[in-house]
Structure 1
Amino acid sequence: MPIPPSSRIAAARLLSRNTSFIGAASRTVRPHAVNLARQPFTRHFSSSGTPPSGESMNLRKTYLALISGTVLGASWYYRDTLLAQSPAPTSTSASPEGGKQILAVDHADIYTGTLPPSVSVTKEASTEDQRVVEMLSPEEATKKLRRNEESYLINRGRGVFRYDVVQVPSNDPIEDDHSEKIIEIPGSVSGTTSSSDDWMFWGVFDGHSGWTTSAKLRQTLIAFVARELHHTYKAALTSETPSAPESSKIDEAIKRAFVKLDNEIVHESVDKLFKNPSKPVAAEMLAPALSGSCALLAFFDSRSKQLKVAVTGDSRAVLGRRGANGRWTATQLSEDQTGNNPNEVTRMRAEHPGEEHVIRNGRVLGGLEPTRAFGDATYKWSLDVQKRIKESFFGRTPSIHMKTPPYVTAEPVVTTAEIMPEKGDFVVMATDGLWEMLTNEEVVGLVGRWIEEQKEGNSNKGWFGGSWFKGKKSDLPVEKGQEDPSKLPPIRTRQWGIDHNQDGRFVCEDKNAATHVVRNALGGKDSNMLCALLTLPSPYSRRYRDDLTVEVIFFGDSATTDGTVKINGEATAGHGKPEPAAAGTTPEMKAKL
């Protein structure tokens, strides 16, 4: 039942007399929650997309009104505010006085602080917009961070010796997905005299409006691309002048595969449904079409040592390469395709001349941020199809700005990089959740620093052996000044008020390189921030961080070249030591055409 206006006014007066952080006076508290007392809280970051302004921007310390006692047995809370309470104060996050570590979130800000042991933090179960959860300790945060980490040692002597991957969800369930595969190609197909070569694929898929499209890509995209590549290689080798296909032909094959799969998801599903109409079937068949997903796919040919990167949407791949001075350079291999990319805006306006709202507020028709994506059928179906689907099954009214669909395409932009294993090349692939928190230079520098930490006691060093960087250990070993100076810092760090020039922000505590990057993206040395961000449940967490999927691929050859693909146990969740997969290879990684 809504609180009467008179009670809300009285509560606001109570709160305004006993708080000092901006905007708190407008929050609603229960009318019987009195005896307010100040307790110190640290303000961490804001949920708005811009840094706090005025007085609040300069204040790192503020106070949040808490109840040190209760009337009628009631505890305190804010309306539509999430609170988190730590377990028993046995971890490093607990206060030395034995108080309870607290996480408090309102619409604009996030705070941590300590409550006296006598104060209880609870919730009212019948109120849907109020929740209380346990504040994670640093140990629990680390466990959650590593829950989905995987690492594989590629002992095949064909240019890649390891890759690491991790996922940290924000949505429930996570809308990201990923897929990896090694396909062994006979020399007669790849155009070499060797008995066989490897085609290696890594895919990162950033879903939105649901998880079904990204799951579909995990299951099928690599197979679609491999088939098109097979046809292209076969055609080139059976021509009048047999040779491996030109680089441009490979690009075209990858683009065809992306478009064919999206056509199956968006259009062929509708054709099948109209031939056999059924509402239950429609819900299942159209789910991958109605949600959407960006896709980032890397293809490495062990024969040519070329890496192809295909991007549909705003996931990103960055190449790290070591220079003579031991520092790394960061080279972006893909371009984010959103309504804020001038190249994409120009393309969209050229394809839809005279349509003022084709890009509106940096989004397609004012709604969708990526300008290229799989699924998102409501931006691709004709108006007639959308009308038929709505009348026969379900759906929503198209945007009033929709005139000439399709507006969104799954066709990727493909780039090529020559891989140089002797320079320690690695590639980081990640959904946009990572790039909202770290710059390209920071990500490459973090992996470079991680590599330095792995030199000692690593039995499968590969290119981890040898010391290169001679600077301070606290520094990131990366060349500075590569980023566009006109480009704003990542949006989340502006939201959180992070200073990118701050020394000592980062730590190195993980054996998995991808986990290491994510830990530092979520707070690094600031364990309170890390715990706070990982404590937040869905949907609150989505205000502060996105789903995260990160892959790090290391190029070169390992000391062992027995042809196997092995789980790296020390960097894989649920494994205590390195162990081979069944029959020496993992069925998820290796396949034959």
Structure 2
Amino acid sequence: MRRAAVKAFRTTLQCTIRGFRTSRRGSSFSFLQTGTRSPSFSQLGAARRHLTSSPARAALSPSRARLEHPNVLGEPLRSSMYIRRTSIALVSALVGYGAWYTYSGTSPDMIARGYSKTRQPSTTNTVDPTIPTRSVLVIGADELHTGTFVGEGPISKATGGDGRMVIEMLTPEQSTTKMRKMEESYFVNRGQGVVRYDLAQLPSNNPIEDDHAEKIVEIPAKAGVGESSDWMFWGVFDGHSGWSTSAKLRQTLISVVAGELNETYKAASGLAPPPEAVEAAIKNGFLRLDHEIVHQSVQKVLQANNKAVAAETLAPANSGSCALLSFYDSKSKLLRVACTGDSRAVLGRRSDSGKWTATPLSVDQTGSNPDEVARVQAEHPGEQVMRNGRVLGGLEPSRAFGDAHYKWSREISDKLREKFFGRSPPTLSKTPPYVTAEPVVTTTKIEPEKGDFVVMATDGLWEMLTNEEVIGLVGKWIESQASSTSSPKFDSVWTTVFGSKGAKGDLPVEASKSSQLDDVDGQKTPEARLKRRGLSPDKSRFVVEDKNVATHIVRNALGGSNQEQVSALLTLPAPTSRRYRDDLTVQVIFFGFGEKTGEIVVNKEATADAKSSSPVKPKL
């Protein structure tokens, strides 16, 4: 009986669902409109169709769509999502309701009531309005379904021996709460060219492998002459194979780089050091810290000869992390962006047309970037250094902190494996190191008076949105906030820097040739992938619902106005969620000149669990 009940419930869900299919890792989401509502019960015969944002593909049958987009199983996916819709037959839902409670051991009265409604000869689509109806997410090995569950009581997760799970979908309100759980926002009232920065994180791994850090270093005036200035740092760290390396970067990277910069500026004897010296100081800071993580840790472990010490000390070396660090000197108004890995920074600047332009300040460093492939190949002539777009067939970023198995000599690897059960080096490893933490540094002159802003984010965001979409979303958010800012103290500053609300419609961003970059030069470009599949990006999906601009970006990356898609992606538990999205960390820094009180104030309406609006001391 239980087996029959499970089968009936599966049939119900499969016949009343919207199905999400997965594709290869590295694909982007195809954002889908909700579309028209399902036809009535009497029209079930013509109800099934495949939804897409491309008119040319709208008539494809579900079976044909399945053949054209075969699922590929294996490593965690960052997938495109394809949706097929059939009408929601409440009669079938009631079958599922009764069958499910049979399986779950619910009372016979409830079971009978569930089945009795399905056996009535009438084809009228009626249901007892007192019985609650809830949305559920059905998770299979290679697909997702959303469906409807009719009835009271908890929704059990296990549906049988096939590994499927049924989970109650988060409501829109619950989805918003989850998105805003790790958001922060600060007003920077130091009069040094930055007025605000926002941050949002959304885990996919458990615990989240991303991390971040921010710090302001106050530089006093020389011998009492002139005014003090600020060095401002923002960092996002995309961990992989664990969170230990990204946590280490959060704790130490800014301090190490600031120390190198301090020595460089002191050596300049009161003058501004040459640009190449500043760039070298940042690179030295990155390499010095990575040497500590990868090599000095080995010395400590071998001296201690203790497995517990080895496990803790080698954790940042055994895992890995990309790093994206921005350094703003308020005196020179120069922003330097150092990138190790595939996180990305993009500058938003208003053009003469009133729209925003998107200028990338970093380049993704992966095995799909021809320049990176050529660099690594030149360091290891005659070897197969890249396989399937990955270093030695395993690591996607070509630059990273940690990842010591791509850096240790075979002698060190063998010694650690013998003493502490360490991992073996990659099979193709012959002449390590193959991976470096040395960053590529770019320098940009910021124009605070024009309202420049910078978006920094881990690669999970850029797999969902293009540079132009992200900058346009911030521009759209700025327009919305300019006329509705609820903080009187900040309102005048905001209006002065960003102006009043603009016109409604498309994203206020200019098209750029950079948005047409494809996998040829190794940059993640969702728009290009959508076009290759015959899909067109749906601009109408974008919404403005959040006071925190970083959360606003995350919401629209997940689906924007397509609330069902947003809720589905947020309902997925780890590690299943990793097939469909990565950890997300987004920072947005707004440049401009506001009041100068020396304070950093928490923006309560855009910060989760903000208990106080009292000033925050600069992280000096």
Range into which the TM-score falls when normalised by the shorter chain = 0.7 to 0.9
Partner residue of 2:605 out of 570, 574, 580: 570
Shift in Å at residue 498 of structure 1?
10
CA displacement at 1:132 relative to structure 2:
3.9
Structure 2: distance between partners of 1:227 and 1:335? 26
Give the residue type in structure 2 aligned to 1:295: A
Moved more, 124-133 or 272-281: 124-133
Stretches of structure 2 lacking an aligned partner (at least 5 in a row): 31-61, 70-81, 106-128, 520-524
> Cα gap change, 1:369/1:439 in structure 2, threshold over 3 Å: closer, same or farther?
same
CA contact (8 A) 1:148 1:166 kept: yes
Q: Quote the residue 1:141 is aligned against.
A: 175
Contact in 1 for aligned 2:517/2:528 (Cα 8 Å): no
Aligned residue number for residue 285 of structure 2 = 257
Deviations 1:139-160 (A, max 9, x none): 0000010001000111011000
**1:579 aligns to what SS in structure 2?**
coil
- Corresponding residue of 2:209: 175
In structure 2, relative to structure 1, the CA distance for the partners of 1:313 and 1:387 (3 Å cut) is same
How far the C-alpha of 1:368 sits from its partner, in A, is 0.3
The answer for the alignment partner of 1:200 in structure 2 is 232
* 2:261 corresponding residue in structure 1: 229
1:191-241 CA distance string (max 9 Å, x none): x9424210000000000000010000000000000000000000011xxxx
Alignment-derived partner of residue 46 in structure 1: 22
Deviates more, 1:49-58 or 1:247-256: 49-58
In the other structure, the counterpart of 2:133 is: 99
- TM-superposed deviation, 1:557: 1.3
Shift in Å at residue 324 of structure 1?
1.7
Match of 2:247 in 1: 215
Q: Report the Cα distance in structure 2 between the residues aligned to 1:34 and 1:45, rounded to whole angstroms.
A: 21
For residues 150-179 of structure 1, what are the alpha-carbon distances to aligned partners after superposition, in whole Å with 9 as ceiling and x for unaligned?
001110110001000011100000000000
Change (3 A) 1:510 1:470: closer
1:331-353 C-alpha deviation (Å, 9 max, x unpaired): 00000000000010000000000
Q: What SS does the aligned partner of 1:562 have?
A: strand
Cα pair distance change 1:30/1:432, threshold 3 Å: farther
- How many residues align? The count is 531
Residue type of the alignment partner of 1:46? T
Map of 2:299 onto structure 1: 271
**What are the equivalent positions in structure 2 for 1:83-482 lying under 5 Å apart?**
98-117=132-151, 121-124=155-158, 129-188=163-222, 193-237=225-269, 243-356=271-384, 358-458=385-485, 459=488, 460-461=490-491, 462-465=493-496, 467=499, 470-471=502-503, 473-482=504-513
Verify the 8 A CA contact 2:155 2:167 in the aligned structure 1: no
Alpha-carbon distance change, 216 to 574 in structure 1, aligned in 2, over 3 angstroms:
same
Per the TM alignment, residue 40 of structure 1 is displaced from its structure 2 partner at its CA by 2.2
Query: Secondary structure in 1 aligned to 2:285?
Result: helix
Contact 1:75 1:121 in 2 (8 A): no
Select between 101-110 and 208-217 the one with higher mean Cα deviation: 101-110
Tell me which amino acid in the other structure corresponds to 2:18: T
Distance in 2 (alpha carbons) for counterparts of 1:507 and 1:498: 24
**Do 1:176 and 1:205's aligned partners in 2 also have CA atoms closer than 8 Å?**
yes
CA contact (8 A) 1:167 1:549 kept: yes
For the 8 Å contact 2:343–2:364, the answer to whether it is kept is: yes
- Which amino acid letter does the alignment assign opposite residue 442 of structure 1? E
1:30: how far off? Answer: 4.5
Question: How much does 1:491 deviate?
Answer: 8.6
Q: Aligned partners of 2:599 and 2:562: how far apart in 1?
A: 39
For the 8 Å contact 1:492–1:545, the answer to whether it is kept is no
Does the 8 Å CA contact 1:48/1:495 hold for their aligned counterparts? no
Indicate the SS of the match to 1:187.
coil
Q: Distance in 1 between matches of 2:530 and 2:462?
A: 12
State the alpha-carbon separation in 1 of the partners of residues 162 and 593 from structure 2: 55
Q: CA deviation at 1:502?
A: 1.9
Q: Secondary structure at the match of 1:401?
A: coil
User: Is 2:553 aligned against 1:513?
Assistant: no
User: Superposed, which structure 2 residues align to 1:481-500 within 5 Å?
Assistant: 481-487=512-518, 489-490=525-526, 494=530, 499-500=535-536
1:74 maps onto 2:74 in alignment: no
1:171–1:539 contact (8 Å) kept in structure 2: yes
Question: Secondary structure of the equivalent of 1:414?
Answer: strand
Give the alignment's Cα RMSD to 1 decimal: 3.0
Q: Cα gap change, 1:339/1:491 in structure 2, threshold over 3 Å: closer, same or farther? A: farther
Asked whether the equivalents of residues 454 and 464 of structure 1 are also in contact (C-alpha less than 8 Å), the reply is: no
In the alignment, the residues of structure 2 paired with residue 439 and residue 71 of structure 1 have an alpha-carbon distance, to the nearest angstrom, of: 43
Is residue 211–residue 291 contact of structure 1 (8 Å, CA) maintained in 2? Answer: yes
Corresponding residue number in structure 1 for 2:84: 60
Q: Identify if the C-alpha distance between structure 1 residues 486 and 160 changes in structure 2 by more than 3 Å, giving closer, same or farther.
A: closer
Q: Is the 8 A contact 2:324 2:337 kept in 1?
A: yes
Q: 1:63 to 1:208 in 2, by over 3 A?
A: farther
Of 276-285 and 44-53, the range deviating more from structure 2: 44-53
Q: Tell whether the 8 Å contact from 1:463 to 1:557 is kept in structure 2 after alignment.
A: no
Distance across 1 between alignment mates of 2:346 and 2:325: 13
The alpha-carbon deviation at position 422 of structure 1 amounts to: 2.2
The answer as to whether partners of 1:135 and 1:532 remain within 8 angstroms in 2 is yes
Cα 1:73–1:159 shift into 2, 3 Å: same
Task: Summarize the Cα distance change of 1:554–1:383 in structure 2 as closer, same or farther, 3 Å threshold.
Answer: same
Does the C-alpha gap of structure 1 residues 142 and 389 become closer, same or farther in structure 2, counting only changes over 3 Å?
A: same
User: Following TM superposition, by how much is the alpha carbon of 1:499 offset from its aligned partner in structure 2, in angstroms?
Assistant: 5.0
Cα–Cα, structure 1 residues 496 and 507, in superposed 2: closer, same or farther, change >3 Å?
Answer: farther
Q: Who is 1:23 aligned against?
A: none
Q: Which runs of 5+ in 1 are unaligned?
A: 1-10, 12-28, 77-94
One-letter amino acid matched to 1:474 = G
Corresponding residue number in structure 1 for 2:587:
551
Counterpart AA for 2:550: A
* SS of residue in 2 equivalent to 1:389: helix
Which amino acid counterpart does residue 354 of structure 1 have in structure 2?
Answer: G
Alignment partner of 1:570: what SS? helix
Distance 1:369 1:108 in 2: 23
| Change beyond 3 A, Cα 1:34–1:229 | closer
**CA distance 1:479–1:385, change in 2 (3 Å):** same
Q: Which moved more, 1:149-158 or 1:117-126?
A: 117-126
Moved over 6 A (4+): 63-66, 125-128, 495-498
Q: Matches of 1:179 and 1:449 in 2, distance apart?
A: 27
Q: Matched residues in 2 for 1:53 and 1:354: separation?
A: 46
CA distance in 1, matches of 2:536, 2:200: 24
CA drift at 1:273? 1.3
Task: For residue 573 of structure 1, give the secondary structure of its aligned residue in structure 2.
Answer: coil
Q: TM-score, normalised by structure 1?
A: 0.83
**Structure 1 residues 123, 60: closer, same or farther in 2, change over 3 A?**
closer
Q: Judge which range, 195-204 or 477-486, deviates more.
A: 477-486
Tell me whether 208-217 or 128-137 shows the greater mean CA deviation: 128-137
The CA deviation string for residues 226-257 of structure 1, in whole angstroms up to 9 with x for no partner, is: 000000000011xxxx5210111000000000
Q: Partners in 1 of 2:394 and 2:100 — Cα distance?
A: 47
Asked if the contact 2:468–2:515 (Cα under 8 Å) also holds between the matched residues in 1, the reply is: no
Q: Please tell me whether the aligned partners of residues 43 and 62 of structure 1 are also in contact (alpha carbons under 8 angstroms).
A: no
Distance in structure 2 (CA, Å) of the matches to 1:97 and 1:566: 48
